[in-house]
């Protein structure tokens, strides 16, 4: 059952994130069209993650108690409604409402990682996490250029309705796959045991009791903050510096996602058994920091920008599944969803910090400041993972 389940989970995660990725490069253009400043644009982007931060542990506990499938279906249905609001949006308030709802209903990634952990032996979890991470990367990789192609490459006349409708259709397709093709990974006895042992699965208690989880979550917080800065400011930066439209930006981000997917799908599988997740994730954080530094000092040198973005993609691809696998090793059978929800909450907090900080850095310190600041955030993440591996032996 395990291998077919992972294959279906891979398809569901890819389709889900494909729909999400379609809109990633378009929200800043929509906000700019509605008259938002750079600080407000990035704040709207951050509102999604702020709501996801509040909701992720709740969804994780629910998935432990009621199973992974109901949470996947519920969160996908919520995403579908948010895409409908986005398609109808004609002002900043509707755009904000769509992002807030999407964030509150975003329990799918924590449930997907918990599902992968459920159906994998401990020695295979890094590979399973890498498979889910690769599915997410593929979704972003294909969704971002698809969104740019559907919208067009002229910022002033870009079409935002078609991409939103495509995202709705993809969410419905993912719901159908979960409902009819994905078996539940937690049986009724495990869920009953979880309801009886519900205490002790709160995020702060988990972090207090498990020092390695604190270090891993801290590393994810730092590096994902750097990622949030890059992703939230890149459209504004590219539009101001090169007058780049959605299609061009989508292709640039496609290259980053492609390299991340290749690293997660192939590089991690080959390197994790040799180096261990802690070492590999730390190396990924260092490479990511170097890539951001190059983008920050490149000026208008497109070659240097391209090299920097490529390094960022490779570094992110090494870090993400490694940190997720280390986090899963801090869980027990009854609290895996809560642990992964807590880990997801740290990345959600980072995606609040990154976008909210990037707009102010850009406006207050100059267009290169966000990239240089992000590089400084990514480096300590390497030390934290290397520190955490001493507790988990990875």
- Residue 191 within a domain: no
- Residue 51 within a domain: yes
Cα–Cα distance measured from residue 106 to residue 72, given in angstroms and rounded to the nearest whole number: 9
- Residue 188 within a domain: no
- Residue 186 within a domain: no
- Residue 189 within a domain: no
Give the model's pLDDT for residue 187: 62
Contact (Cβ atoms closer than 8 angstroms) between residue 176 and residue 10: no
| pTM for the whole structure | 0.76
Give the model's pLDDT for residue 324: 85
To the nearest 10°, the Cα dihedral for 222, 106, 261, 177? 160
The tokens 């992110």 sit on which residue?
Answer: 316
Tokens of 252: 């640039």
Tens-digit pLDDT profile for the chain (394 aa)? 455 578 889 889 999 999 988 988 899 999 999 999 989 999 998 898 788 878 877 887 788 888 889 999 999 999 999 999 999 999 999 999 999 999 998 878 778 878 887 887 776 776 787 788 778 878 878 898 999 999 988 887 888 999 999 999 999 999 999 999 888 876 654 544 444 444 445 667 777 778 888 899 999 999 999 999 999 999 999 999 998 888 889 889 888 988 988 898 788 888 888 888 889 999 999 999 999 999 999 999 999 999 999 999 999 999 988 898 888 887 766 666 677 778 877 887 888 899 999 999 999 999 999 999 999 999 999 999 887 766 655 5
- Residue 129 within a domain: yes
Give the model's pLDDT for residue 353: 92
CATH number at residue 119: 1.20.1250.20
Range of the domain at 279: 2-180+202-392
DSSP string, 7-55: HHHHHHHHHHHHHHHHHTTTHHHHHHHTT--HHHHHHHHHHHHHHHHHH
Contact (Cβ atoms closer than 8 angstroms) between residue 106 and residue 52: yes
The total of structural domains in the chain comes to 1
- Residue 222 within a domain: yes
């Amino acid at each position: 059952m395990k291998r077919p389940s992972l294959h279906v989970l891979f398809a569901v995660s890819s389709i889900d994130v494909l729909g999400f990725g379609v809109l990633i490069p378009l929200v800043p253009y929509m906000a700019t069209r509605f008259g938002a400043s750079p600080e407000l644009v990035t704040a709207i982007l951050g509102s999604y993650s702020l709501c996801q931060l509040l909701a992720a542990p709740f969804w994780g506990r629910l998935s432990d108690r009621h199973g992974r499938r109901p949470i996947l279906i519920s969160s996908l249905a919520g995403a579908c409604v948010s895409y409908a609001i986005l398609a109808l949006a004609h002002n900043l308030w509707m755009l904000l409402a769509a992002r807030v709802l999407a964030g509150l209903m975003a329990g799918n990634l924590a449930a997907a990682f918990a599902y992968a952990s459920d159906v994998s032996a401990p020695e295979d979890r890094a590979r399973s996490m890498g498979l889910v991470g690769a599915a997410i990367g593929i979704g972003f990789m294909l969704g971002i250029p698809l969104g740019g192609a559907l919208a067009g490459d002229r910022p002033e006349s870009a079409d935002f309705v078609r991409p939103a409708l495509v995202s709705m259709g993809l969410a419905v397709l993912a719901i159908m796959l979960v409902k009819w093709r994905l078996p539940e990974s937690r049986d009724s006895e495990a869920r009953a045991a979880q309801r009886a042992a519900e205490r002790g699965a709160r995020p702060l208690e988990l972090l207090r009791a498990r020092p390695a989880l604190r270090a891993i979550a801290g590393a994810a917080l730092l590096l994902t903050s750097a990622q949030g800065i890059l992703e939230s400011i890149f459209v504004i930066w590219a539009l101001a510096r090169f007058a780049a439209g959605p299609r061009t930006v989508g292709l640039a981000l496609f290259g980053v996602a492609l390299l991340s997917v290749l690293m997660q799908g192939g590089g991690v599988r080959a390197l994790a058994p040799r180096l261990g997740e802690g070492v590999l994730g730390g190396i990924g954080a260092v490479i990511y920091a170097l890539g951001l530094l190059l983008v920050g000092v490149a000026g208008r040198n497109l070659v240097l920008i391209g090299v920097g973005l490529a390094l960022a993609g490779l570094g992110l691809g090494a870090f993400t599944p490694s940190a997720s696998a280390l986090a899963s090793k801090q869980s027990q059978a009854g609290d895996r969803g809560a642990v992964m929800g807590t880990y997801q909450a740290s990345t959600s907090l980072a995606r609040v910090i990154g976008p909210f900080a990037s707009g102010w850095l850009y406006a207050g310190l100059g267009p290169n400041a966000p990239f240089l600041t992000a590089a400084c955030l990514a480096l300590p993440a390497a030390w934290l993972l290397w520190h955490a591996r001493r507790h988990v032996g990875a």
